[in-house]
Amino acid sequence: LAKTTQPISMDSYEGQEVNITCSHNNIATNDYITWYQQFPSQGPRFIIQGYKTKVTNEVASLFIPADRKSSTLSLPRVSLSDTAVYYCLVGDPTGGYNKLIFGAGTRLAVHP
Amino acid sequence: EPEVTQTPSHQVTQMGQEVILRCVPISNHLYFYWYRQILGQKVEFLVSFYNNEISEKSEIFDDQFSVERPDGSNFTLKIRSTKLEDSAMYFCANDGTDTQYFGPGTRLTVL
């Protein structure tokens, strides 16, 4: 399983765009990049997943450069409710079985 | 989003007692997982379960732990003799088509 590195914490203000970058230098060919969000005392919640280029959904965008050694989660116009821990995970989700290895994540604090 | 449910939301027990944590996974999803998160620490993988047997377990998942699907739908985690260090949030997870869905967790407090 590829190791990931992401900032321990970030601060932002309401209405700003937040970009959290994750490094995964040893990503394998079959690996996808998945981001989860976790609020205190709740289970991790899937945000977005991608393999290459750009993926966008109603919550976030995920930018993956051609070499796939890093990825950037972009949260547009954050609000106070986006204060959470964000985890970047790398692994092969195809075939069903996919044990997740969580790092420390990035603790995002959104201020008024 | 598909929903995994867990009961109880909070369990308080005395050291040495047995606890059973319950999960109702998403129907037709075949892989089941338990994770735990000690307060302030990372989410840690405990065990995965497929086709009515353990497919992988971590070093945390020792002989005090067991999992089963007692009735083909519910998925349980049993801790036979709880220790203080078992106090944590326990999350059940279930595989979707391309990711895992987590339940809300059970907070286990061992006194």
C-alpha to C-alpha distance for A20 and B109, rounded to whole angstroms: 34
Provide the pLDDT for residue B102.
Answer: 93
For residue A73, name the pLDDT band (cuts at 50, 70, 90).
Answer: very high
CATH level 3 topology of A9-111: Immunoglobulin-like (2.60.40)
Q: What is the CATH number of the domain that holds B87?
A: 2.60.40.10
Helix, strand or coil for residue B86? helix
Average pLDDT in chain A: 92
pLDDT digits (tens, 9 = 90+) for B19-76: 999 999 887 777 889 999 999 999 999 999 888 889 999 999 999 999 998 777 789 9
In the prediction, which pLDDT does B1 show? 65
Q: How confident is the model at residue A2 (pLDDT cuts 50, 70, 90)?
A: low
Mean pLDDT across the stretch A80-106?
Answer: 87
CB-CB neighbours of B3 under 10 Å = 11
Q: B99 falls in which pLDDT band (50, 70, 90)?
A: confident
Residue B98 has pLDDT above 80, yes or no: no
**Which of A93, A98, A103 has its CB closest to that of B42?**
A103
Task: Quote the pLDDT of residue A1.
Answer: 59
- Specify whether the CB–CB gap between B103 and B6 falls below 8 A: yes
- Structural domain including B61 reads 5-110
User: Which pLDDT belongs to residue A88?
Assistant: 95
At residue A109, the pLDDT reads 98
Per DSSP, the residues of A62-91 read EEE-TT-SEEEEEESS--GGG-EEEEEEEE
Nearest to B38 by CA among B5, B67, B60: B60
Q: State the average pLDDT over residues A98-112.
A: 92
Q: Which residues pair with A48 in a beta bridge?
A: A35
Asked whether B6 and B104 are in contact (CB, 8 A), the reply is: yes
Place of tokens 């590829």: A2
CB contact under 8 A, A93 and B98: yes
Mean pLDDT to the nearest integer, A1-16: 91
* CB nearest A99 (choices: B1, B42, B56): B56
Find out whether A91 and A100 touch, Cβ atoms under 8 Å.
yes
CB-CB neighbours of B65 under 10 Å = 18
Domain count, chain B: 1
Residue A93 predicted with pLDDT over 70: yes
Name the residue facing A102 among B43, B98, B104 (closest C-beta).
Answer: B43
pLDDT on residue B47: 95
Report which residue type is found at A92: D
Give B65's strand partners.
Answer: B79
Instruction: For chain A, list residues whose CB is within 8 angstroms of any CB belonging to chain B.
Output: 32, 34, 38, 41-46, 49, 87, 93-94, 96-105
> What residues in B contact A43, CB-CB < 8 Å?
4, 91, 93, 102-105
Cβ neighbours of B84 (radius 10 Å): 9
How do the domains of chain A map onto residue ranges?
9-111
Inter-chain CB proximity A43 and B105 less than 8 Å: yes
Residues contacting B79, CB < 8 A, separation 6+: B18, B19, B21, B64, B65, B86, B108
**Residue A100 clears pLDDT 70, i.e. is over it:** yes
At residue A6, does pLDDT exceed 90? Answer: yes
Contact B98/A43, CB-based, under 8 Å?
A: no
- Residue A57 in this model has a pLDDT that exceeds 80: yes
Say what the pLDDT of residue B108 is.
98
Task: Report the C-alpha gap between B81 and B65 in whole angstroms.
Answer: 9
Res. A95 pLDDT band, cuts 50 70 90: low
Cβ separation of A100 and B42 shorter than 8 Å? no
Q: Grade residue B104 by pLDDT with cuts at 50, 70 and 90.
A: very high
DSSP readout, chain A? Answer: ----B--SEEEEETT--EEEEEE-TT--TT-EEEEEEE-TTS--EEEEEESSEEEE-SS-EEEE-TT-SEEEEEESS--GGG-EEEEEEEE--TTS---------EEEEEE-
